[in-house]
Chain A
């Protein structure tokens, strides 16, 4: 069938700069550039271009520019180009449109409507370069009160297992199978070096990375891929994945072609078979059932590790979170509307779930009202872009933050949303060995460590400006936030005052 879809991008090759070196031909994994030997000229199949900029960055003579195809439809706010083109694609294939990364639509980003406070005149700000500044964070269930033996000064109260973080930013779940092993190794090494944690996602852990277990969160999802006693034993934290922000309520599906020999090793399924993650856990239909799995994992690891439960932020997250805490979760993870994915139906990604800022505010508030906030740590994720978002999230009540897209961008990702194709030209979301080696774990871990270092410095600067010398003092302290351009209802849910008040 002839496709009615126009090319999305135009490749502009400056003939006075192009030296026909074919670097672009070799770098492009979407078959855009090709060399015409008869004419001794490099040309393009523009219809294949996804706008990932791999060729632009690697062109030695800066001969390439990628532009959006300026082809315009008649102006129509309802029938926007993306909507027209999605219909065309479905008319040509009859399938569910799959995409990668997080929701790219225009729902309000509340971080951009929240501003932070700073000390002026009446209270001194702190200079983090010269004064101690504490970002240390402990994840895990905290007791109601602490009792100390008066003579020996030893702790009498039983403390549930705690995990110490040097920086409150962790790497969110990305499975091996979605991302390459080199990405996993980069994340594992950067987390170890930076004193934080990374998350295996639901595809198991390659034995080569067991040595980073002390900084590893292992996931137990509905498919139970790669979940075996050693996997649970090497981990620092076990995370039960109920849902993710990009696709709340639906399962996952790693196509057989991505299940290479190595992926088969960590998922513990035969090579080339589809890895289907059912939508629900078939042993969890209630809070009581969730408690059963939480305690199954605690029993399986002799109560040595915190158990986290991750849900997508949805309408009744606050009530669910209360149930999760009462079910015995040591850590609660909320993944918002903008949470990313290696592959999800676009219609779900862009339409299901609620923004993380609102979910975080309402969950934190609910747990406080019920007097159980201490019983679990709260981690949020889903579109956190920079240290400003991190500080705002902590002021809203989060204990720590997960980043995934930001981490991949640090590795070269340009958010071209082609993760599901497995052809990532940056070698991130692919199992093609030729592409995967484009991420060098030595360099990748350095880029990630640098990112976390930069954010830590900025967080300390912002804290110092507020006159706070420990992140713990900011946690849940919404008086340090003000809203700009928000309605009364939005302000009420966020629990912040309007700027100026």
Chain B
């Protein structure tokens, strides 16, 4: 059974042996009771943590949250001291997810807003179909490297891949980067070959606007994971942009 202790607006939940349904009930209850900070201990694969919460609240996770962490989330800030699994930030609307380990596949799938920072590597199809809308612009910053189809179908937002764990001269491994991309921007630090890029993306040098984006977001990334932002920013960045905003515009006859 969960220990659910209340000190002011601080909650602590021991998730040992808790089904996700019960865990999420406790979270909803805590948020309804005015929690400002919730600490989840011994999390072990519970899914959907942070979904159906629609205001700002700090959630700290010790352990390994399960799939769909923060899916449909709308406001909380989740910090994971461990690895995240697949579908983290799925269709997220607002909030932040800070992962001190690695993350699995389809990180930030269809996210419309919010920010996700991953210290380590990410799986396949990170940032797939992220989109932006009015003042909403999802941001994904990945400290390590990524698997194939990074930024596939990307329709908006910003994806930054830092490659901090690559050795001197080592290339990113991902292929099909930005396949089907038709909006948003990918900043890539470290080297890729042309063949690793999707047919729909073009490479550009970074300009002043890009530099200020990178300063801000790499700065934020560095502050979470105790890196020196200036050191990171010394690396060479390239910018990937969709070549066409309507890549499939001429396939059809009416």
B252 touches A95 (CB 8 A): yes
Residue B96 CB within 8 A of the other chain: no
Secondary structure class of chain A's binding surface, majority of residues: mixed
- Contact residues in B for A255 (Cβ distance below 8 Å): 246, 249
- Stretch in A8-16, A19-27, A191-199, A291-299 touching the partner: A291-299
Residue B54 CB within 8 A of the other chain: yes
- Contact residues in B for A306 (Cβ distance below 8 Å): none
The CA of A268 and the CA of B153, in the complex, are separated in Å by: 16
- Contact residues in A for B77 (Cβ distance below 8 Å): none
A296 touches B153 (CB 8 A): no
The CA of A227 and the CA of B71, in the complex, are separated in Å by: 11
Residue A273 CB within 8 A of the other chain: yes
Produce 1/0 per residue, B20-33, CB < 8 A to A: 11001000100000
B253 touches A283 (CB 8 A): no
Report A251 CB to chain B, min CB distance, Å: 10
Report B164 CB to chain A, min CB distance, Å: 26
- A270-B156, A292-B47, A295-B48 are known contacts. Are A278 and B249 too (CB-CB below 8 A)? no
- Contact residues in B for A283 (Cβ distance below 8 Å): 68, 86-87, 90, 106, 109
Produce 1/0 per residue, B237-254, CB < 8 A to A: 000000001111111111
- Contact residues in A for B67 (Cβ distance below 8 Å): 292
Residue B180 CB within 8 A of the other chain: yes
A296 touches B90 (CB 8 A): yes
Interface range on chain B (Cβ under 8 Å from partner): 35 or more
A273 touches B183 (CB 8 A): yes
Taking a contact as CB atoms closer than 8 A, the residue among B93, B128, B155, B251 that contacts A96 in the complex is: B251
- A228-B112, A299-B21 are known contacts. Are A97 and B253 too (CB-CB below 8 A)? yes
- A224-B91, A282-B109, A283-B109 are known contacts. Are A95 and B250 too (CB-CB below 8 A)? yes
Residue B148 CB within 8 A of the other chain: no
* Nearest-CB residue, chain B, relative to A86: B253
Produce 1/0 per residue, B171-209, CB < 8 A to A: 000000000101100000000000000000000000000
Interface range on chain A (Cβ under 8 Å from partner): 35 or more
The CA of A422 and the CA of B206, in the complex, are separated in Å by: 39
* Nearest-CB residue, chain B, relative to A275: B155
The CA of A273 and the CA of B246, in the complex, are separated in Å by: 7
The CA of A256 and the CA of B110, in the complex, are separated in Å by: 18
A96 touches B253 (CB 8 A): yes
Residue A150 CB within 8 A of the other chain: no
Q: Known pairs A98-B253, A223-B129, A296-B72; list 8 more (Cβ under 8 Å).
A: A94-B253, A95-B250, A224-B110, A227-B110, A274-B182, A276-B129, A299-B47, A301-B52
A-B contact pairs, 7 of them (CB 8 A): A95-B252, A224-B109, A227-B72, A229-B52, A274-B249, A299-B47, A300-B51
Q: What residues of chain B have their CB less than 8 Å away from a CB belonging to chain A? A: 20-21, 24, 28, 47-48, 51-52, 54, 67-68, 71-72, 74, 86-87, 90-91, 93, 106, 109-110, 112, 125, 128-129, 131-133, 136, 152-153, 155-156, 180, 182-183, 245-254
